[in-house]
């Protein structure tokens, strides 16, 4: 039941919602609601469970439903595809919220071949858009997140990344339609000009740029979003370079930075650690049946058995073949200068190579899920600090995080992804979700990493539901002025506090005080 | 309109695990109306192949859906199926199938786990502990037969754990597998 709402009132609200969306699109039974859980949650059973789910079909139904949510002050949790696993999946920030499931709104409203963009609704997945493009004979690519069932809009709103040159999804987003908490519909940028044909072509318009405010936030419900799509290039050259030593990470990033900044390597290049890379092919239990991190001697055997390095660097070149040929000379000179580097332009029977090559040319797939076999039991949460792509900084961050993983009995399983000027470090903390002790250790490790990374000047770019408050508090310049601003906006735009309360640590006034006085923030795990 | 909103207690963190919790769901409905069985085979997993082969050889599989390491087949081929879907797959394949099928209105019938630890297979199932414990390498075949019985109602209801004798782990086995069954295309009661 939503907090502070009695059963009779809730039933009345559900009746009104059913009259808007149809009874078949209001869910209260256990089975359909089970689809709205975090399948990989690090929390104890029974946390973050919804009270009901409502699935509108269009913007008008959203507007009408918002009237009901406001009237009864029902907290809702809005999502498109709900595949945000490792960060909470579709689950709500707190138990009792009503899931506002926008999956039915899955139309691809426009594909513009000339300017290279699509306009999509919240429920459109990468697979759906990819298949649509191929069906209509388009020469445009999608840039999928690693699991291709994710939502085009949802991933961009969460600042997610892909692996083609269009890999920074928020940067590639252009133009939004947003329903505010009071039902008012706003179009951003050129979309505010009646009859404009340029809503998805340019981000520039008169006045403030609001799009970012509706990402990783709870200020409105995005119902349409433009996304730029990369034209198929005349040439494509994927490659992998393996590096023998862990400390090579510093040299890798010092070599790759000028190549990235000068756009010689145009895509989101990634340095993948040994265990992440090999886990698509084998499992930990094939090598080590003990507790704690895998010993170095076994790591070396794994690397040797599978022809891998301690770091495995993937990138690709795109464009006319003469340009690729020219740029390749620069890449080879820089990246192969590190002692022990081995170049791979193809790898037979290697599923990790196959799926990376597909991702870098915009073909969605789900292969990355196979790395969940590494431990068995599938649980994982991603700790994702972000920084500049500096070699020394990358190595220092790696050493700190690896040591903490080992302290808590976990293997370090991670990758570093380089964007335009940034480096996303993704640590995948894997655990058997049926093992309560392991799950709690993963939770404790994550919490410690947040504080230690912040102490060293690193913030996370995205996080699991359970750590949103803790991470919000690490952004504490000038006594937390940034989150104060978020809260001031929240109170004005959503005075009843119905939209996704607690998303990214942004709470409405009423729940803000209560959450702090009850000490609920950062204390989700109950033994 | 009546919404029974006060009775629910949802207990598990798993996507489908809480709802399935062994084999307690849908028995009578399935027993009354035997339906087409579709077997999901994860082609690179040896146990999954043996499980599917047993279903095929017994004449009980009306259709086999084969998926590769990309798992793409789970997204593309489960949308239009109707009947009872069964599989012995890796944990991620089971998770993906569960997410897609439940969101599409499918009803979970069973979910069991099989884990290789310390040179033995550990099975968490409902019924058949002795048979599974005695089988080492051939356990997926025993499991397939047991699941066929379970799906037509000839089974016990107690959840059981058992261990095999010492045995090796195949090089291509993920070592942690899930056997599962969903019924698709049936009205919720």
Which site among A366, A377, A434 would you substitute to test the B interface, given the most B Cβ atoms closer than 10 Å to its Cβ? A366
Q: Residue A35 is nearest to which of B99, B174, B175, comparing CB atoms?
A: B99
Q: Does A134 touch chain B (CB under 8 A)?
A: no
Q: Does A262 touch chain B (CB under 8 A)?
A: no
Q: Is A151 exposed, middle or buried (0-12, 13-18, 19+ CB in 10 A)?
A: buried
In CATH, what number does A236-465 get?
3.40.462.10
Query: Chain B partners of A52 at a C-beta cutoff of 8 Å?
Result: 3, 5
Pairing of strands A98-101, A173-179: unpaired
CA–CA dist B54, B57 (Å, integer): 5
Decide if A225 contacts A80 (C-beta within 8 A). Answer: no
Q: Residue A46 is nearest to which of B11, B15, B107, comparing CB atoms?
A: B11
Name the residue of chain A whose CA is nearest to B42's CA.
A370
CA–CA dist B40, A17 (Å, integer): 38
Mean pLDDT over residues A94-102, rounded? Answer: 96
Contact check, Cβ <8 Å, B75/A366? yes
A115 is an active site residue: no
pLDDT at res. A167: 95
pLDDT at A279 over 90: yes
Query: Which pLDDT band holds residue A16 (cuts at 50, 70, 90)?
Result: very high
Token match 């990790």: residue? A352
Query: Chain B partners of A23 at a C-beta cutoff of 8 Å?
Result: 1
A205 by DSSP, 3-state: which?
coil
Contact check, Cβ <8 Å, A369/B4? no
pLDDT, tens digit, 9 for 90 and up, residues A286-341? 999 898 999 999 999 999 999 999 999 999 999 999 999 999 999 999 999 999 99
Pairing of strands A117-120, A140-141: unpaired
Mean pLDDT over residues A33-49, rounded? Answer: 88
CA–CA dist A315, A336 (Å, integer): 13
Mean pLDDT across chain B: 80
Chains A & B: contacts with CB separation below 8 Å: 146
Query: Chain A partners of B91 at a C-beta cutoff of 8 Å?
Result: 372-373, 376-378
Identify the DSSP state of A260: H
pLDDT, tens digit, 9 for 90 and up, residues A421-458? 899 999 999 998 889 999 999 999 999 999 999 999 99
Query: Chain A partners of B12 at a C-beta cutoff of 8 Å?
Result: 45-46
Query: Chain B partners of A367 at a C-beta cutoff of 8 Å?
Result: 69-71
pLDDT, tens digit, 9 for 90 and up, residues B137-168? 889 999 998 888 888 765 555 667 788 888 88
Mean pLDDT over residues A377-394, rounded? Answer: 91
Contact check, Cβ <8 Å, B175/A376? yes
Q: Does A1 touch chain B (CB under 8 A)?
A: yes
CA–CA dist A75, A99 (Å, integer): 9
Q: Which fold has domain A108-231?
A: 3.30.465
What residues contact residue A324 under an 8 Å CB cut-off, 6+ apart?
Answer: A235, A237, A317, A318
pLDDT, tens digit, 9 for 90 and up, residues A494-523? 999 999 999 999 999 999 977 655 444 444
Pair of tokens at residue A31: 């089975």
Decide if B25 contacts B107 (C-beta within 8 A). Answer: yes
Looking at per-residue pLDDT, the higher value among A10 and A83 belongs to A10
Contact check, Cβ <8 Å, A149/B75? yes
Query: Which pLDDT band holds residue A387 (cuts at 50, 70, 90)?
Result: confident
Mean pLDDT across chain A: 94
How many CB atoms sit inside 10 A of residue B42's CB?
Answer: 29
Query: Chain B partners of A349 at a C-beta cutoff of 8 Å?
Result: none
Contact check, Cβ <8 Å, B96/A7? no
Name the residue of chain A whose CA is nearest to B119's CA.
A289
Contact check, Cβ <8 Å, B70/A29? no
Q: Residue A28 is nearest to which of B5, B18, B76, comparing CB atoms?
A: B5
Mean pLDDT over residues A357-380, rounded? Answer: 93
Q: How far is B47 from chain A (nearest CA, A)?
A: 14
Q: How far is A295 from chain B (nearest CA, A)?
A: 18
CA–CA dist B52, B61 (Å, integer): 8
Q: How far is B59 from chain A (nearest CA, A)?
A: 31
Q: Residue A30 is nearest to which of B8, B169, B175, comparing CB atoms?
A: B8
Q: Where are the domains of chain A?
A: 1-104+475-527, 108-231, 236-465
Q: Which of A72, A126, A443, A461 is catalytic?
A: A461
Query: Which pLDDT band holds residue A526 (cuts at 50, 70, 90)?
Result: very low
CATH architecture of A1-104+475-527: 2-Layer Sandwich (3.30)
Contact check, Cβ <8 Å, B71/A367? yes
* Model pTM score: 0.93
CA–CA dist A323, A67 (Å, integer): 56
CA A128 to chain centre: 18
Residues 358 to 417 of A: which have CB under 8 A from any B CB?
A: 364-367, 369-370, 372-373, 376-378
pLDDT, tens digit, 9 for 90 and up, residues B69-107? 889 889 888 877 889 999 999 999 999 999 999 988 899
pLDDT at res. B133: 77
A412 is an active site residue: no
Mean pLDDT over residues B46-69, rounded? Answer: 93
pLDDT at res. B21: 41
Q: Residue B10 is nearest to which of A33, A41, A365, comparing CB atoms?
A: A33
Q: Does A289 touch chain B (CB under 8 A)?
A: yes
Beta bridge partners of A221: A179
pLDDT, tens digit, 9 for 90 and up, residues A147-169? 999 999 999 999 999 999 999 99
Query: Chain A partners of B19 at a C-beta cutoff of 8 Å?
Result: 30-31, 34
CA–CA dist A46, A38 (Å, integer): 11
Query: Chain A partners of B8 at a C-beta cutoff of 8 Å?
Result: 28-30, 33
pLDDT at res. B29: 44
pLDDT at B14 over 70: no
A97 is an active site residue: no
Q: Residue B6 is nearest to which of A7, A285, A365, comparing CB atoms?
A: A7
Which site among A371, A378, A380, A442 would you substitute to test the B interface, given the most B Cβ atoms closer than 10 Å to its Cβ? A378
* Range in A100-114, A172-186, B19-33, B104-118 with the lowest mean pLDDT: B19-33
Percent of the residues in chain B that have a pLDDT greater than 70, as a whole number: 75
Name the residue of chain A whose CA is nearest to B20's CA.
A31
What residues contact residue A438 under an 8 Å CB cut-off, 6+ apart?
Answer: A379, A409, A431, A432
Residues 436 to 495 of A: which have CB under 8 A from any B CB?
A: none
Which site among A89, A369, A379, A525 would you substitute to test the B interface, given the most B Cβ atoms closer than 10 Å to its Cβ? A369
Q: Which of A36, A87, A117, A431 is catalytic?
A: A87
Q: Residue B90 is nearest to which of A11, A282, A373, comparing CB atoms?
A: A373
Looking at per-residue pLDDT, the higher value among B150 and B30 belongs to B150
CA–CA dist A74, A26 (Å, integer): 14
CA–CA dist A193, A188 (Å, integer): 9
Three-state SS sequence of A436-491: HHHHHHHHHHHHHHHHHHHHCCCEECCCCHHHHHHHHHHCCHHHHHHHHHHHHHHH
pLDDT, tens digit, 9 for 90 and up, residues A482-491? 999 999 999 9
Query: Chain B partners of A433 at a C-beta cutoff of 8 Å?
Result: 13-14
What residues contact residue A122 under an 8 Å CB cut-off, 6+ apart?
Answer: A79, A80, A81, A102, A103, A105, A106, A151, A153, A154, A222, A223, A225
pLDDT at res. B154: 56
Secondary structure (DSSP) of chain B: -----SS-----SSTTHHHHTTT-SSHHHHHHS---EEEEEETT-HHHHHHHHHHHHTT--SEEEEE-TT-HHHHHHSSS--EEEEEEEEHHHHHHHHHHHHHTT-EEEEEEEEEEETTEEEEEEES-HHHHHH-STTHHHHHHHHHHHHHTT-S---EEEEE--S----TT--SEEEEEEEEES----
pLDDT at res. B163: 83
Q: Residue A39 is nearest to which of B15, B74, B174, comparing CB atoms?
A: B15
Percent of the residues in chain A that have a pLDDT greater than 90, as a whole number: 88
Which site among A42, A91, A95, A370 would you substitute to test the B interface, given the most B Cβ atoms closer than 10 Å to its Cβ? A370
């Amino acid at each position: 039941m939503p907090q502070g709402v009695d059963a009779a009132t809730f039933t009345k609200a559900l009746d009104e919602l059913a009259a808007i969306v149809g009874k078949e699109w209001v869910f209260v039974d256990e089975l359909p609601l089970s689809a709205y859980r975090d399948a990989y949650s690090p929390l104890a059973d029974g946390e973050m469970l919804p009270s009901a789910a409502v699935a509108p079909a269009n913007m008008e139904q959203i507007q009408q439903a918002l009237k009901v949510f406001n009237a009864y002050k029902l907290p809702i949790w809005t999502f498109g595809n709900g595949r945000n696993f490792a960060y909470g999946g579709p689950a709500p920030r707190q138990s009792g919220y009503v899931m506002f499931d926008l999956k039915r709104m899955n139309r691809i409203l426009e594909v513009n071949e000339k300017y290279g963009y699509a306009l999509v609704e919240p429920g459109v997945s990468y697979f759906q858009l990819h298949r649509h493009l191929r069906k209509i004979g388009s020469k445009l690519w999608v840039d999928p997140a690693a699991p291709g069932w994710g939502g085009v809009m949802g991933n961009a709103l969460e600042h997610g990344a892909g692996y083609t040159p269009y890999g920074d999804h928020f940067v590639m987003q252009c133009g939004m339609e947003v329903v505010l908490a009071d039902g008012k519909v706003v179009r951003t940028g050129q979309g505010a000009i009646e009859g404009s044909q340029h809503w998805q072509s340019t981000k520039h318009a008169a006045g403030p740029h609001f799009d970012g405010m509706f990402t990783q936030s709870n200020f409105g419900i995005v119902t349409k979003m433009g996304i730029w799509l990369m034209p198929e290039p005349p040439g494509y050259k994927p490659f992998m370079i393996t590096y023998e030593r862990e400390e090579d990470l510093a040299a890798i990033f010092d070599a790759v930075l000028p190549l990235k900044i000068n756009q010689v390597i145009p895509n989101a290049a990634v340095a993948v650690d040994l265990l992440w890379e090999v886990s698509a092919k084998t499992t930990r239990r094939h090598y080590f049946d003990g507790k704690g991190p895998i010993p170095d001697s076994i790591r070396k055997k794994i690397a040797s058995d599978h022809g891998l390095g301690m770091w495995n660097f993937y990138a690709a070149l795109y464009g006319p073949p003469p340009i690729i040929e020219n740029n390749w000379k620069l890449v080879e000179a820089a990246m192969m200068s590190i002692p022990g580097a081995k170049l791979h332009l193809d790898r037979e029977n290697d599923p990790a190579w196959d799926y990376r090559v597909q991702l870098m040319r915009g073909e969605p797939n789900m292969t990355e899920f196979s790395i969940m076999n590494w431990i068995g039991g599938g649980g994982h949460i991603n700790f994702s600090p972000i920084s500049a792509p500096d070699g020394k900084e990358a190595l220092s961050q790696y050493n700190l995080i690896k040591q903490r993983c080992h302290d808590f009995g976990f293997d370090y399983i991670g990758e570093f992804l380089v964007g335009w000027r940034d480096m996303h470090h993704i640590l995948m903390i894997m655990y058997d979700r049926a093992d309560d002790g392991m799950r709690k250790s993963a939770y404790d490790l994550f919490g410690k990493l947040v504080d230690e990374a912040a102490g060293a000047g690193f913030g996370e770019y995205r996080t699991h539901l359970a750590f949103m408050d803790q991470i919000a508090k690490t952004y504490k310049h000038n006594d937390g002025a940034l989150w104060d601003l978020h809260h001031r906006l929240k109170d004005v735009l959503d005075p009843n506090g119905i939209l996704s309360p607690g998303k990214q640590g942004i709470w409405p006034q009423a729940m803000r005080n209560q959450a702090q006085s009850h000490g609920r923030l950062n204390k989700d795990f109950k033994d | 309109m009546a919404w029974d909103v006060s009775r629910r207690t949802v207990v598990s963190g798993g996507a489908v695990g809480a709802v399935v919790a062994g084999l307690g769901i849908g028995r009578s409905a399935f027993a009354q109306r035997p339906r087409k069985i579709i077997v999901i085979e994860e082609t690179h997993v040896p146990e999954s192949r043996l499980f599917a082969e047993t279903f095929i050889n017994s004449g009980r599989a009306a259709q086999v859906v084969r998926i590769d390491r990309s798992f793409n087949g789970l997204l593309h081929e489960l949308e239009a199926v109707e009947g009872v879907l069964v599989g012995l797959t890796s944990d991620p394949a089971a998770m993906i199938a569960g997410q897609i099928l439940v969101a599409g209105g499918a009803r979970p019938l069973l979910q069991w786990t099989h884990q290789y630890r310390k040179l033995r297979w550990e099975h968490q199932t409902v019924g058949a502990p002795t048979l599974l414990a005695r089988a080492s390498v051939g356990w997926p075949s025993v499991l397939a037969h047991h699941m066929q019985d379970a799906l037509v109602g000839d089974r016990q209801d107690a959840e059981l754990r058992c261990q095999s004798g010492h045995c090796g782990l195949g090089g291509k086995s993920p070592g942690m597998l899930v056997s599962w069954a969903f019924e698709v295309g049936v009205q919720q009661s």
